């Protein structure tokens, strides 16, 4: 299938979601245990307010932040770009490519559904994105 719906890709997913008050250390432990590259971060209203990735961890450590006490809310990437579950794989790949990021939260009406990354997509979907990119480069 060359253009699967995002809902299909995340259908059995249980994304790692932490509060913005939890620590960098807790997030890194969970990321390590689950072998994932990001956790979704929620505010007091339980809505997505940020994403914490390996890049954020490196940045926090380079600033000498103590991971045992630093809250995710201080070092996360706030207000991440999201995608709705009714969109398609190529839509997600375009957002990832255009935005230069690796993880894309899937949200429906303020409810977290999942998260996708480039590794979730199949060869034909990636081939289609590369074909589109090559076409735009030739046009431009």
Q: For residue range 89-105, list pLDDT tens digits in order.
A: 999 999 998 999 999 99
Cα dihedral 87, 91, 96, 100, rounded to 10, equals -140
Q: What is the pLDDT of residue 13?
A: 93
Q: Is 135 part of a structural domain of the chain?
A: yes
Any domain includes 1: no
Give the pLDDT of residue 135. Answer: 52
Question: Above 80 in pLDDT, residue 79?
Answer: yes
Q: How many domains does the chain have?
A: 1
Could you tell me which residues come within 8 angstroms of residue 72 by beta carbon, excluding any fewer than 6 positions away? 18, 19, 20, 21, 22, 23, 24, 27, 39, 41, 50, 52
What percentage of residues in the chain have a pLDDT greater than 70?
Answer: 86
What pLDDT, in 10s, does the model give residues 16-42?
999 999 999 999 999 999 999 999 999
Query: Is there a domain that residue 19 lies in?
Result: yes
Lowest mean pLDDT across 1-5, 75-79, 118-122: 1-5
Instruction: State residue 140's pLDDT score.
Output: 66
For the stretch 35-69, pLDDT in tens is 999 999 999 999 999 999 999 999 999 999 999 99
**30, part of any domain:** yes
pLDDT of residue 132 exceeding 90:
no
127 located within any domain: yes
pLDDT band, residue 114 (cuts 50/70/90): very high
The string over 60-89, giving b where at least 16 C-beta atoms fall within 10 Å of a residue's C-beta and e elsewhere, is beeeebebeebbbbebbbeebebbebebbb
Give the chain's length: 140
Domain region containing 96: 6-139
**Mean per-residue pLDDT over the chain, rounded:** 90
Of residues 132 and 13, the one with the higher pLDDT is: 13
What CATH number did the domain enclosing 61 receive? 3.10.580.10
């Amino acid at each position: 299938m060359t253009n699967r719906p995002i809902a299909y890709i995340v259908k059995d997913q249980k994304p790692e979601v932490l509060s913005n008050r939890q620590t960098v250390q807790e997030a890194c432990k969970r990321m390590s245990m689950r072998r994932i590259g990001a956790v979704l971060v929620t505010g007091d209203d339980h809505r997505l307010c940020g994403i914490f990735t390996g890049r954020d961890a490196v940045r926090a450590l380079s600033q000498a932040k103590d991971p045992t006490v630093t809250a995710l809310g201080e070092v996360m990437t706030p207000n991440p770009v999201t995608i709705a579950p009714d969109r398609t794989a190529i839509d997600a790949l375009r957002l990832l490519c255009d935005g230069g990021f690796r993880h894309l939260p899937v949200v429906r009406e303020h409810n977290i559904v999942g998260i996708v990354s480039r590794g979730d997509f199949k060869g034909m979907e990636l081939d289609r994105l590369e074909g589109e990119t090559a076409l735009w480069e030739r046009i431009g």
